[in-house]
Amino acid sequence: MYCSEEDLNKIKGKINIKEYVSNKVKLTKKGDIYTGICPFHNSLVSTFIIDEKSQTYGCYECGCSGDVFDFVVNFYKKTFSDAVSMLALVTGIALDKDVCNKDFYKKQKIITIINKAAKDFYQKMLYQNESALRYVKERKLEENTLQMFSIGYSDPKIHIYDELKKQGFDELDIMASGLVADQKKTNKVFLANDRYDKFYNRIIFPIKNENNIVIGFGGRVMDNKKPKYINSKETIAYDKSANLFGLNIARYSKFDYFLLCEGYMDVISMHQAGFDNAIASLGTSLTLNQIIKLSKYKKKIILTYDSDEPGLNAAKRAIPMLESCMINTSIINLNPYKDPDEFIKEVCKDEFLKRVTIADESYPWLIANIMKSDKTLYEQKIENIATIFEEQFKFM
Ligand SMILES: [Zn+2]
């Protein structure tokens, strides 16, 4: 045992095994329990059960059983302490490092220390490069905002790899951080030491978890090159599906709802305009893990997705998931502007707040949109609407 009983209970208290497992196994409610296909043996019938009351799982075919820690151990083939570390990160509980000092946790810790060093370095670089500074000014980012979001710049002339080496970090740890890639493996040519900067010549948006720890990075080009954004790969410190950009600040917001949007710039621009409740999922569609995290803080979400086809599709997917987790949703109308960033810049924050206060109820909005926008037959439209309701009940 590498963790105090108290910490284990804290973690358990924050995780509902049914919600956690339902991300991995499709569950159906049967009376007081949930059943599904067992992930631990080959089966075509539902022999796997989750008992929410006792917060345990079991299978009456293969005999596997246990609590959420056992599930992680067996599902991901992890050691017990690795499972504890993983769930600690998911729940945002800081373990006492003196008690929990197993390898996995130590490695995770080192990655976050490297991330912090990289964040500081990138931030410093921003102020030493004229074109990067000009770019953030053109995007109308104020000094206060740059600080609040620790926005930085990856200068192609000064490599993060050299800097991290200089600071004494271990080669393997640097590579595990995902900030640097192996040139030989990628055929990139622009760096010595066989290493190249993943975020080469990009504006850097550090991604922090809800406890303000830097877990990864997003990088944006300053011109029209593709890809416009790149993000850190998942590391042992960075689980994309369990974190949200901006939550470290938004969780403390006085607004009793979150504004959920699509990108870093939307979040940053909304915070700058006084909407410190803006958050975004990290380049993925919304996951149940993220919703569980959000619901700890607020029970109402206003979707501020882009007013285009992908935005509509993202909303179609997010609304039933959120509603089934008892989160009240509505959706803002940004027309004729594309996204919150553009709206606030082209109009103003007061008008944006007005749009927030008259946000549409999500289901009537969804239905109206499907009826209006789908270029399909009437029957197909009805079917699409039915699918959305089925989606909601799937999660209930
Ligand atoms: Zn089984």
What is the distance of C-alpha 223 from the center of its chain?
26
Edge-to-edge strand ranges of the sheet holding 214-220:
152-153, 203-208, 214-220, 229-231
| For residue 165, pLDDT beyond 90 | yes
Q: How confident is the model at residue 6 (pLDDT cuts 50, 70, 90)?
A: confident
Q: Are 309 and 316 in contact (CB under 8 A)?
A: no
More confident residue, 241 or 171: 171
Cα(354)–Cα(332) distance, integer angstroms: 10
Fold of 247-395: Dna Topoisomerase Vi A Subunit; Chain: A, domain 2 (3.40.1360)
Q: Domain segments of the chain: what residues?
A: 5-91, 105-238, 247-395
Q: How far is the CA of 31 from the centre of ligand 1 (A)?
A: 20
Q: How confident is the model at residue 192 (pLDDT cuts 50, 70, 90)?
A: low
Q: Which residues neighbour ligand 1 (ion) by CB within 5 Å?
A: 38, 40-41, 59, 61-62
Q: What is the mean pLDDT of the chain?
A: 87
| For residue 189, pLDDT beyond 70 | no
| Burial class of 182 by CB neighbour count within 10 A (0 to 12, 13 to 18, 19+) | exposed
pLDDT in tens, 359-384: 999 999 888 888 886 577 888 888 88
Residue 196, H or E segment: strand 195-197
Q: How confident is the model at residue 99 (pLDDT cuts 50, 70, 90)?
A: very low
Tokens of 363: 């289901």
Q: Do domains 105-238 and 247-395 have the same CATH topology?
A: no
Q: How far is the CA of 69 from the centre of ligand 1 (A)?
A: 17
DSSP string, 131-171: HHHHHHHHTT--HHHHHHTT-EE--TTS-HHHHHHHTT--H
Choose among 123, 149, 218: nearest CA to 178.
218
Roughly how many angstroms between the first and final C-alpha of the chain, as a whole number? 35
Edge-to-edge strand ranges of the sheet holding 300-303:
244-245, 278-281, 258-261, 300-303, 328-331, 360-361
pLDDT confidence of residue 136:
96
pLDDT confidence of residue 184:
64
pTM (whole model) above 0.85: no
Q: How far is the CA of 71 from the centre of ligand 1 (A)?
A: 12
pLDDT in tens, 64-73: 888 999 999 8
Cα(175)–Cα(339) distance, integer angstroms: 36
pLDDT, mean of residues 313-340: 89
pLDDT in tens, 25-82: 999 998 888 999 999 998 888 889 999 988 989 888 888 888 999 999 899 887 777 7
| For residue 153, pLDDT beyond 90 | yes
Q: How far is the CA of 84 from the centre of ligand 1 (A)?
A: 23
| For residue 230, pLDDT beyond 50 | yes
Instruction: Name which CATH class applies to 105-238.
Output: alpha beta
Picking from 3-7, 161-165, 235-239, which range would have the lowest pLDDT averaged per residue? 3-7
Q: How far is the CA of 322 from the centre of ligand 1 (A)?
A: 30
| For residue 116, pLDDT beyond 70 | yes
Residue 303, H or E segment: strand 300-303
Domain at 5-91: CATH architecture: Alpha-Beta Complex (3.90)
pLDDT confidence of residue 251:
93
pLDDT confidence of residue 295:
86
Q: How far is the CA of 72 from the centre of ligand 1 (A)?
A: 15
pLDDT confidence of residue 98:
46
pLDDT in tens, 119-152: 999 999 999 999 999 999 999 999 999 999 999 9
Tokens of 242: 């369990």
pLDDT confidence of residue 217:
96
